[in-house]
Structure 1
Amino acid sequence: MTAPTLWAILATALLSALLFGGGLGLNLVIVAVPAILAAAFAARAADRRIRPWTLVWAVGGLALLAVPALRDAGWPTFLAIVSALVLTALALHGGRGWPSVLFAPVGLIDSVGSGTTWAWRGLRERADGSRGRWGPVVRTVGVAVALLVVFGALFAGADAAFADLLGSLMPDVSLEQAPWRLSLFLLGLFGAISVARTAAAPLRWDRMVIRPGRARARLEWALPLIVLNLLFAAFNAVQLAVLFGGYDKVLSETGLTYAEYARQGFWQLLMATLLTLAVIGLALRWAPRADARDRTLVRAVLGILCVLTLVVVASALRRMDLYVDAYGLTRLRISVAAMEIWLGLVIVLIMAAGIFGARLLPRALAVSAAASMLAFGLASPDAIVAERNLERFNRLGKIDVPYLAGLSADAVPALDRLPEPQRTCALRDIEARLGDEDDTPWYATSWSQARARALLAERGVDRFSVDCGEPSREEEYDPYAKGAPHSAPHSAPYDAPYDAP
């Protein structure tokens, strides 16, 4: 292990201890920089070259870390961080096949143990070879720190503005936080060691051989899929006739109300899409492949299945759109709709692989997943939920204020446009949460939080004089329930429960 690698690992650990703990924001990017340098130094020492796909994964991982820096909602942040870790594993391991894409994150975990031994051995070797140079380095750093502390304290006592500037720039570290800071230090230390060790000696997942299944006869392979295609075609014909035939068509064909039909079956269609991907994977494993006619048969049967599956995806999204139109948008609904859109993209990529070849399919699916996570986070789902509910309120006069009050600071610009008293009732809890985080340092504050604080400070929120009278969810009335009098869509005085799909 080289000295630059050791110093980069130590810098990652120190920055983790100092910057984490109060929230997530730019601190993720700041900590990621020395970790990336540790990997680069270790890879160069091991004579590993940087390849184009390595840069693709690395840039993608850094881009995903922009989500917590820009958005306040915790769930897109979590998804972005997990996706960034996966892309980091792909950048470190390399490889192009399915084993590398699927098992690369396992390599980071495996490197924690071996990397610790590797780092300790490298540290001892560096110490034995440079005993005479450690003394001057330690003395120089000690003198610099002492001067900064002494003169920084004097200047802070002499000028309150300078003291505030130092307070905002420097992390708040106290003895009470020592155990927590130590845990963060160890997390950064072992994380950086794992990254550097993987860069120096990655696991070669592409050496794992996945043998294709025994090829089946044409009739044995194709007949079940042809029957499945006919079932999909029949279902899609009904969907196209009913879902796009209007409200009267829904009633005449099903006997259900508009909202009942919209709510019915979305999860089943989502599961059907997932199972179709499994069927395609298994069919390819046992597909006949003796000659060109077999390959043509495989492409035709599976291509038709993919096209029909895209219609199922469109049907599921149409149902969700109708249901949102009737009951409003929630976090759960926007999440499952985004997942359905990505599954549709996966189907399109599989179709492209059938035409142009499947060599790039594993990487293309990984890129599509990461890009979808990035787009989902940057689009600010909480803001979209607030915007859609604001539009619905302006159109129908219906809104679930207690639910919207639980959204993050991302939703503040939309909720601020509500009339009173709905505005106050939706914003006062968010303002209280932001007020509790006023002492959060700049590196742990997202852009959405800063924008929301500025907006609320400008217009203010009356926490005391407005009686919001939050209704009990159990007492809500659903006019679309069976046995309720029939009414036209959107005539309900209350919204349906928000934990429904």
Structure 2
Amino acid sequence: MMTEHTPENLKETQVQIATPFLPHIISLIIMVIFDQLAWERKFGLQFFLLVLMILLALFIMARVEKKHIPWRSYLLLAPILLGATMTIFQKASSTTFFNIVLTLLGLILLAIALRNGQWLGYRIREVAMGILLLIESMIVDPIKILIENKRTQKKPPAGEKNRTWRRIRPFFIGLVIAIPLLLIFGALLASADLIFREQLSSFFDLFKIENLAELLFRTFYIITLGYFMTGAYVHTLVRSAKEKDITPDKPLVQPFLGHVEAFIVLGLVNLLFLSFIIIQFRYFFAGQANISIEGFTYAEYARRGFFELIIVAVLSLGVFYLMSAFTKRSTRATRRTFSALGILLMLQVGCMLVSAFQRLSLYEAAYGFTTLRAMTYIFMIWLGVLIIAVALMEVFNQFKRLALVLLIIFFGFTLTLNLFNLDRFITQRNIAHAQAGNPLDASYLVHNLSVDSVPALFEAEQASETSPELKEALTAILACKLTLRDHSGREGSWPEWHFSESTADRLFEQHRGRLENYPLSLKSESSIYEEGGQRFEDTYQYYYFEVGGEEIYCMPVD
């Protein structure tokens, strides 16, 4: 749908808004608040609060500027708020990363399509071009809106300057009167309350000469990020109103590859994949005996090539998409043949994913779960969904929906990570793996998983069906985790609050008495070195515990 160049639309492209200083002021306020919440603090509520401030400010400015927002744009609040909210409830770094990425993707789409509401129909080219224009706006528009506003201002009539001063004077006089009173009352309150005095002193410590470098750096990044945020707001409020011509679906690059060449490429790749699948069915899927004939153990064969299969699947999707975009298909017969070869390719890629999934299952059965293995399980499931979607898009000639499909797939992947609670899931599966008679990777449970794993550790330790040996190992793991937690100094301010941290604190406090009395072993190791012709001896002490005869490092002694 083409947009008519009405005077109103022309005005929008001039980046004029009724309150040009408002985005600057709001962006700086947001960045100052975020700096106070996040500087030298542990990750907690800060990202969630930042996103809420950004959204609240955006919708307030849209109302002030009387900008209409289509209902379709409000749908983007779902991925934005899901990602931001789950950063409070999931502590695993991998899940937190994907939550943040999902939130940022939602905010970017909101910025480039808030007022036209066309994001559901965007192709990859519209998304890419929208991001480039957004970056341009973040650099140029904060200055441009001030320049264009000044150009459109009428010359002030006689006496206007005096009238402006009369408006400003009350604020100036109020500040002159208030500042001495604040100093007096502040000094008295500081004398009356030691905690208030410490907080006040820490504020004024920022302005000491030894803190000058820190103050300058914080001021610099607040102003810089505030400037870019202003440009993003201006783009969202003004430039996102311009509708994009997304129909009819004209290709960005005209097809240039002949159908014969495409058929040869797809046909040969299909033959290669078919030979691989035949071998897989003959050996891998047929069981351990057939693999042993070729000189491999079942575990060795399963470990080989797992990630290569995932890469092949991803590359196959990319190759098919490019072939579909660049191949000329002028007749009905060529279109059907190409689609048949493409669907066959997707089916064979699906078979290879099944092989990769089975290999990963053998990994897990032999060695237990890790973060990478658990995430790969979930990734393969959603990669399979993408393969089905690609096949359907080819059948119905809807590859223009690829950008939307990818967003939905990523949303589903991130939602699944949150629903699984990755570290809790890994802990439960590894404990079940040990309960079945396999070795327990205690070191991984201690050092590689976040506090999301703590409730699952306590549940298993308290469960009646847990064997005495495993229960002893879990108690040692929890005692070590409590020692590490106490050593790290967990107490923090309210911006650092996190649901998982709070839950772990509550559980550790309930069981502190018995865990503190658990006898972690102490070990000393010495090393001798020479320096300047003299011999020195360093002694290193650390706590550890044993699981199945294996020494598990806990933490160093202060």
Name the structure 1 match of 2:135. Answer: 109
> Which letter maps to 1:451?
T
The Cα of 1:260 is off from its aligned counterpart by 1.1
2:484 pairs, out of 420, 432, 437, with 432
Matched, 1:329 2:369: yes
> Which letter maps to 1:362?
A
2:30, 2:285 → 1: CA distance?
56
2:252 pairs, out of 202, 210, 214, with 210
Equivalent runs, 1:192-271 vs 2, <5 Å: 192-202=229-239, 210-217=252-259, 219-252=260-293, 254-271=294-311
Equivalent runs, 1:144-155 vs 2, <5 Å: none
Equivalent runs, 1:5-404 vs 2, <5 Å: 5-21=23-39, 22-40=41-59, 49-94=68-113, 95=119, 96-118=122-144, 121=147, 132-134=166-168, 136=170, 175=206, 178=215, 181-182=218-219, 185-186=222-223, 188-202=225-239, 210-217=252-259, 219-252=260-293, 254-356=294-396, 357-404=398-445
Q: TM-score under structure 2 normalisation?
A: 0.72
2:273, 2:453 → 1: CA distance?
40
2:406, 2:65 → 1: CA distance?
30
Are residues 258 and 290 of structure 1, via their aligned partners in 2, closer, same or farther at CA, if it must alter by over 3 Å?
same
Name the structure 2 match of 1:488. Answer: none
**Structure 2 residues without counterparts, runs of 5 or longer:** 1-16, 114-118, 154-160, 462-470, 525-547, 551-558
Which of the pair has the greater relative contact order for Cα pairs under 8 Å at 6+ separation? Answer: 1
The Cα of 1:258 is off from its aligned counterpart by 2.4
Q: TM-score under structure 1 normalisation?
A: 0.79
SS in 1 for 2:328: coil
SS in 1 for 2:439: coil
> Does structure 2 retain, via aligned residues, the 8 Å contact 1:16–1:188?
no
Name the structure 2 match of 1:483. Answer: none
Name the structure 2 match of 1:465. Answer: 519
Structure with the higher fraction of residues in strand conformation: 2
2:280, 2:356 → 1: CA distance?
10
1:224, 1:435 → 2: CA distance?
60
CA RMSD, 1 decimal: 4.0
Which structure has the bigger radius of gyration? 2
> Does structure 2 retain, via aligned residues, the 8 Å contact 1:13–1:192?
no
The Cα of 1:280 is off from its aligned counterpart by 0.4
> Which letter maps to 1:83?
L
1:372, 1:458 → 2: CA distance?
35
SS in 2 for 1:405: helix
Name the structure 2 match of 1:498. Answer: none
The Cα of 1:319 is off from its aligned counterpart by 0.7
The Cα of 1:325 is off from its aligned counterpart by 1.1
Are residues 340 and 186 of structure 1, via their aligned partners in 2, closer, same or farther at CA, if it must alter by over 3 Å?
farther
2:380, 2:94 → 1: CA distance?
18
Are residues 359 and 286 of structure 1, via their aligned partners in 2, closer, same or farther at CA, if it must alter by over 3 Å?
closer
Describe the superposition over 1:227-257 as per-residue Cα deviations: whole angstroms up to 9, x where unpaired.
22232223223334544434445434x4322
Describe the superposition over 1:134-184 as per-residue Cα deviations: whole angstroms up to 9, x where unpaired.
555677799999999998998999899xx79x99xx9x8552574565356
Describe the superposition over 1:263-318 as per-residue Cα deviations: whole angstroms up to 9, x where unpaired.
11101101111220122022102323213222222221111111111111121111
**Structure 1 residues without counterparts, runs of 5 or longer:** 471-491, 495-501
SS in 1 for 2:310: helix
2:394, 2:414 → 1: CA distance?
25
Are residues 250 and 224 of structure 1, via their aligned partners in 2, closer, same or farther at CA, if it must alter by over 3 Å?
same
